[in-house]
Amino acid sequence: MSIVMEPIGVVRTAAGKVPRHYTVSDVEGSLVIEEKYREGLRDIKPGQKIVVLFCFDKSAPFTSDLLVQTPPHRNEALGVFSICSPRRPNPIGLSVLEVLAVEGTTLQVKGIDMYDGTPILDIKPFIPPEAQAQGE
């Protein structure tokens, strides 16, 4: 089986170094989405949180010896599926970002943990657990 994905846009940030995870990031930047997806952005509003799926395009290829890794902020080796390492069988990342502004097909966001030029695969709404429990 083959799965093919095309980016819907790219991340833009002036940050030279980005935090290891969105939960510890105050980095601001933008998600520049292709014009053909404009209508899909119409209900995204400032103040909202969004889930951004992206490709770890700058990571070295995955090899089987990376099934267990020791993250730089941990003192123990852990299985790749229990950590946020960019070196994974499928180099897909996930971040929850705060929308600061929407300008056409550009979303100004906060919480970036991606490098400038990172391909964006998809955007989804962030639904907090309390909203899920209420059936929203």
Delimit the domains of the chain by residue range: 9-133
Residue 121 contacts residue 53 (beta carbons within 8 Å): yes
Q: Confidence band (pLDDT; 50, 70, 90) for 135?
A: low
Q: Confidence band (pLDDT; 50, 70, 90) for 74?
A: confident
Residue 20 has what pLDDT? Answer: 86
Strands 92-103 and 106-110: antiparallel
Distance (Å, whole) CA 28 – CA 72: 24
Q: Selecting from 3.40.718.10, 2.40.40.20, 2.40.30.70, 3.40.50.300, what CATH number does the domain 9-133 have?
A: 2.40.30.70
Q: Confidence band (pLDDT; 50, 70, 90) for 134?
A: low
Q: List residues bridging with 120 in a β-sheet.
A: 9, 54
Q: List residues bridging with 13 in a β-sheet.
A: none
pTM score of the predicted model: 0.89
Residue 96 contacts residue 126 (beta carbons within 8 Å): yes
Residue 129 has what pLDDT? Answer: 83
